[in-house]
A and B are shown apart, each in its own frame.
Chain A
Amino acid sequence: GQNIDQPTEMTATEGAIVQINCTYQTSGFNGLFWYQQHAGEAPTFLSYNVLDGLEEKGRFSSFLSRSKGYSYLLLKELQMKDSASYLCAVRDDSNYQLIWGAGTKLIIKP
Protein backbone atom coordinates (compact mmCIF):
# COMPACT_ATOMS: atom_id res chain seq x y z
CA GLY A 1 0.00 0.00 0.00
CA GLN A 2 0.89 3.66 -0.13
CA ASN A 3 1.83 5.28 3.15
CA ILE A 4 3.41 8.54 4.18
CA ASP A 5 4.22 9.22 7.83
CA GLN A 6 5.04 12.51 9.50
CA PRO A 7 4.79 13.65 13.10
CA THR A 8 1.43 15.18 13.91
CA GLU A 9 2.72 18.22 15.73
CA MET A 10 6.00 19.88 16.67
CA THR A 11 6.87 22.91 18.76
CA ALA A 12 9.93 25.10 18.32
CA THR A 13 11.22 28.47 19.48
CA GLU A 14 11.53 31.60 17.38
CA GLY A 15 15.05 31.89 15.96
CA ALA A 16 15.80 28.20 16.41
CA ILE A 17 16.11 25.33 13.90
CA VAL A 18 13.59 22.54 13.44
CA GLN A 19 13.67 19.35 11.40
CA ILE A 20 10.43 17.74 10.21
CA ASN A 21 10.79 14.13 9.13
CA CYS A 22 8.81 12.19 6.56
CA THR A 23 8.98 8.50 5.74
CA TYR A 24 7.21 6.93 2.83
CA GLN A 25 6.33 3.53 1.41
CA THR A 26 4.98 3.79 -2.11
CA SER A 27 4.78 1.47 -5.08
CA GLY A 28 7.16 3.70 -7.00
CA PHE A 29 8.96 6.98 -6.65
CA ASN A 30 9.08 9.95 -8.95
CA GLY A 31 9.78 12.85 -6.60
CA LEU A 32 9.03 14.15 -3.11
CA PHE A 33 7.53 17.53 -2.36
CA TRP A 34 7.19 19.69 0.71
CA TYR A 35 4.34 22.17 0.92
CA GLN A 36 3.43 24.71 3.57
CA GLN A 37 -0.21 25.20 4.49
CA HIS A 38 -1.50 27.91 6.80
CA ALA A 39 -4.84 27.19 8.40
CA GLY A 40 -7.69 27.72 5.98
CA GLU A 41 -5.39 28.40 3.06
CA ALA A 42 -4.07 26.50 0.06
CA PRO A 43 -0.80 24.58 0.14
CA THR A 44 2.18 26.51 -1.19
CA PHE A 45 5.21 24.82 -2.71
CA LEU A 46 8.44 24.76 -0.70
CA SER A 47 10.74 22.16 -2.23
CA TYR A 48 11.16 19.21 -4.54
CA ASN A 49 13.64 16.33 -4.32
CA VAL A 50 14.02 13.52 -6.80
CA LEU A 51 17.69 12.65 -6.26
CA ASP A 52 19.38 11.82 -2.97
CA GLY A 53 20.87 14.71 -1.10
CA LEU A 54 20.17 18.14 0.25
CA GLU A 55 18.40 20.95 -1.58
CA GLU A 56 18.81 24.37 0.02
CA LYS A 57 16.56 27.33 -0.60
CA GLY A 58 17.10 30.23 1.77
CA ARG A 59 16.01 29.35 5.29
CA PHE A 60 14.51 26.06 4.12
CA SER A 61 16.36 22.90 3.12
CA SER A 62 15.04 19.49 2.16
CA PHE A 63 16.87 16.18 2.23
CA LEU A 64 16.06 12.91 0.53
CA SER A 65 17.29 9.34 0.90
CA ARG A 66 15.52 7.11 -1.58
CA SER A 67 17.05 3.90 -0.24
CA LYS A 68 15.64 4.67 3.20
CA GLY A 69 12.34 6.11 1.99
CA TYR A 70 13.09 9.16 4.08
CA SER A 71 13.06 12.91 3.77
CA TYR A 72 13.29 15.85 6.09
CA LEU A 73 12.53 19.53 5.88
CA LEU A 74 14.88 21.78 7.81
CA LEU A 75 13.75 25.25 8.79
CA LYS A 76 16.36 27.68 10.13
CA GLU A 77 16.01 31.02 11.92
CA LEU A 78 12.41 30.29 12.70
CA GLN A 79 9.94 33.16 12.50
CA MET A 80 6.46 33.36 13.97
CA LYS A 81 5.01 33.31 10.44
CA ASP A 82 6.46 29.82 9.99
CA SER A 83 3.69 28.51 12.22
CA ALA A 84 1.79 26.31 9.77
CA SER A 85 1.29 22.73 8.68
CA TYR A 86 4.03 21.19 6.58
CA LEU A 87 2.89 18.58 4.11
CA CYS A 88 5.07 15.86 2.65
CA ALA A 89 3.82 14.49 -0.69
CA VAL A 90 5.22 11.79 -2.95
CA ARG A 91 4.66 11.23 -6.63
CA ASP A 92 4.71 7.54 -7.34
CA ASP A 93 5.23 5.91 -10.71
CA SER A 94 2.72 8.20 -12.32
CA ASN A 95 3.51 11.61 -13.64
CA TYR A 96 0.59 13.28 -12.00
CA GLN A 97 -0.78 11.92 -8.78
CA LEU A 98 0.61 13.17 -5.50
CA ILE A 99 0.15 11.06 -2.39
CA TRP A 100 -0.03 13.30 0.65
CA GLY A 101 0.97 12.88 4.25
CA ALA A 102 -1.35 14.15 6.95
CA GLY A 103 0.95 17.09 7.62
CA THR A 104 2.97 18.24 10.60
CA LYS A 105 1.57 21.18 12.52
CA LEU A 106 4.49 23.38 13.56
CA ILE A 107 3.93 25.73 16.48
CA ILE A 108 6.47 28.51 16.96
CA LYS A 109 6.77 30.03 20.42
CA PRO A 110 8.45 33.36 21.22
Chain B
Amino acid sequence: EPEVTQTPSHQVTQMGQEVILRCVPISNHLYFYWYRQILGQKVEFLVSFYNNEISEKSEIFDDQFSVERPDGSNFTLKIRSTKLEDSAMYFCASGAGSSYNEQFFGPGTRLTVL
Protein backbone atom coordinates (compact mmCIF):
# COMPACT_ATOMS: atom_id res chain seq x y z
CA GLU B 1 0.00 0.00 0.00
CA PRO B 2 1.46 3.40 -0.94
CA GLU B 3 2.46 5.63 1.94
CA VAL B 4 3.93 9.02 2.70
CA THR B 5 7.54 8.86 3.90
CA GLN B 6 9.52 11.47 5.79
CA THR B 7 13.20 11.90 6.58
CA PRO B 8 14.85 12.21 8.96
CA SER B 9 12.77 10.68 11.72
CA HIS B 10 14.55 12.86 14.27
CA GLN B 11 16.54 16.03 13.72
CA VAL B 12 18.49 17.83 16.42
CA THR B 13 19.80 21.30 15.64
CA GLN B 14 21.18 24.38 17.30
CA MET B 15 19.09 27.53 17.57
CA GLY B 16 19.65 29.77 14.56
CA GLN B 17 20.54 26.93 12.21
CA GLU B 18 18.65 26.08 9.06
CA VAL B 19 16.87 22.74 8.75
CA ILE B 20 15.24 21.02 5.82
CA LEU B 21 12.62 18.38 6.46
CA ARG B 22 11.92 16.03 3.59
CA CYS B 23 8.79 14.25 2.51
CA VAL B 24 7.92 11.91 -0.32
CA PRO B 25 4.16 12.10 -0.88
CA ILE B 26 2.11 9.31 -2.42
CA SER B 27 2.99 9.30 -6.10
CA ASN B 28 -0.35 10.15 -7.73
CA HIS B 29 -1.35 12.76 -5.17
CA LEU B 30 -1.52 16.42 -6.13
CA TYR B 31 -2.08 18.20 -2.81
CA PHE B 32 0.58 18.42 -0.17
CA TYR B 33 0.52 19.71 3.38
CA TRP B 34 2.75 20.37 6.35
CA TYR B 35 1.46 20.26 9.92
CA ARG B 36 3.21 20.53 13.21
CA GLN B 37 2.39 19.20 16.66
CA ILE B 38 4.18 20.52 19.71
CA LEU B 39 4.48 17.80 22.33
CA GLY B 40 1.19 17.37 24.14
CA GLN B 41 -0.60 19.97 22.04
CA LYS B 42 -2.96 19.96 19.10
CA VAL B 43 -2.05 19.46 15.48
CA GLU B 44 -1.58 22.80 13.69
CA PHE B 45 -1.84 23.46 9.98
CA LEU B 46 1.18 25.15 8.44
CA VAL B 47 0.80 25.19 4.68
CA SER B 48 -0.82 23.53 1.69
CA PHE B 49 0.77 23.25 -1.73
CA TYR B 50 -0.73 22.57 -5.12
CA ASN B 51 0.41 23.02 -8.70
CA ASN B 52 3.86 24.12 -7.58
CA GLU B 53 2.68 26.94 -5.40
CA ILE B 54 1.38 27.59 -1.91
CA SER B 55 -2.41 27.46 -1.86
CA GLU B 56 -2.90 28.34 1.80
CA LYS B 57 -0.75 29.07 4.81
CA SER B 58 -1.41 29.72 8.45
CA GLU B 59 -0.18 32.51 10.71
CA ILE B 60 2.52 30.16 11.97
CA PHE B 61 4.03 29.92 8.49
CA ASP B 62 6.01 33.16 8.57
CA ASP B 63 9.04 34.28 6.59
CA GLN B 64 11.23 31.76 8.39
CA PHE B 65 9.41 28.93 6.64
CA SER B 66 9.43 27.92 3.01
CA VAL B 67 8.32 24.90 1.02
CA GLU B 68 9.54 23.48 -2.21
CA ARG B 69 8.89 20.63 -4.57
CA PRO B 70 12.34 20.39 -6.13
CA ASP B 71 11.55 17.39 -8.30
CA GLY B 72 8.65 15.13 -9.10
CA SER B 73 8.75 13.23 -5.84
CA ASN B 74 10.08 15.28 -2.93
CA PHE B 75 8.31 17.97 -0.92
CA THR B 76 10.45 19.89 1.55
CA LEU B 77 9.91 22.26 4.46
CA LYS B 78 12.76 24.63 5.26
CA ILE B 79 13.10 26.58 8.47
CA ARG B 80 15.71 29.27 7.90
CA SER B 81 16.75 30.16 11.43
CA THR B 82 15.34 27.78 13.98
CA LYS B 83 14.04 28.94 17.34
CA LEU B 84 13.54 26.93 20.50
CA GLU B 85 9.78 27.09 20.00
CA ASP B 86 10.10 25.35 16.64
CA SER B 87 10.72 22.11 18.50
CA ALA B 88 7.82 19.88 17.50
CA MET B 89 6.78 16.90 15.43
CA TYR B 90 6.36 17.93 11.80
CA PHE B 91 3.96 15.89 9.71
CA CYS B 92 3.73 15.89 5.95
CA ALA B 93 0.46 14.81 4.35
CA SER B 94 -0.77 14.33 0.82
CA GLY B 95 -4.16 13.96 -0.79
CA ALA B 96 -5.59 13.10 -4.15
CA GLY B 97 -7.86 16.14 -4.30
CA SER B 98 -8.55 19.34 -2.43
CA SER B 99 -12.07 18.32 -1.53
CA TYR B 100 -11.29 14.66 -1.34
CA ASN B 101 -11.94 13.40 2.12
CA GLU B 102 -8.67 11.90 3.18
CA GLN B 103 -5.23 13.32 3.79
CA PHE B 104 -2.58 10.65 4.28
CA PHE B 105 -0.02 11.51 6.91
CA GLY B 106 3.63 10.57 6.99
CA PRO B 107 5.24 9.23 10.19
CA GLY B 108 6.61 12.66 11.09
CA THR B 109 9.99 14.24 11.82
CA ARG B 110 10.71 15.12 15.41
CA LEU B 111 12.63 18.40 15.41
CA THR B 112 14.54 19.33 18.56
CA VAL B 113 16.07 22.80 18.71
CA LEU B 114 18.71 23.27 21.41
Q: How many residues of B contact A (CB 8 A)?
A: 23
Q: How many A-B residue pairs have CB under 8 A?
A: 51
- Least Cβ–Cβ distance between A103 and chain B, in angstroms: 7
Question: B residues within 8 A CB of A87?
Answer: 42-43
Q: Judge whether A42 and B105 touch: CB under 8 Å.
A: yes
Complex interface bits, B3-30 against A, C-beta within 8 A gives 1, otherwise 0 = 0000000000000000000000000000
- Least Cβ–Cβ distance between B6 and chain A, in angstroms: 9
CA of A100 to CA of B108 in the docked complex: distance in angstroms? 17
Residue from the list B42, B44, B45, B105 in contact with A44, Cβ < 8 A:
B105
Query: At the interface, yes or no: B104 with Cβ under 8 Å from chain A?
Result: yes
Q: How many residues of A contact B (CB 8 A)?
A: 21
Residue from the list B42, B98, B104, B107 in contact with A100, Cβ < 8 A:
B42
CA of A103 to CA of B41 in the docked complex: distance in angstroms? 9
Q: Judge whether B91 and A42 touch: CB under 8 Å.
A: yes
Across the interface, name the chain B residue whose C-beta is closest to A50.
B101
Contacts A31-B99, A97-B45 supplied; 4 other A-B pairs, CB < 8 Å = A43-B91, A89-B43, A98-B103, A102-B41
A sample of 11 inter-chain contacts (CB < 8 A) reads A41-B107, A42-B91, A42-B105, A44-B105, A45-B102, A45-B104, A96-B50, A97-B45, A99-B45, A101-B42, A102-B42
List 4 tightest A-B contacts by C-beta distance, closest first.
A48-B101, A96-B48, A42-B105, A95-B98
A contact set with B: CB distance below 8 Å: 30-31, 33, 41-45, 48, 87, 89, 94-103
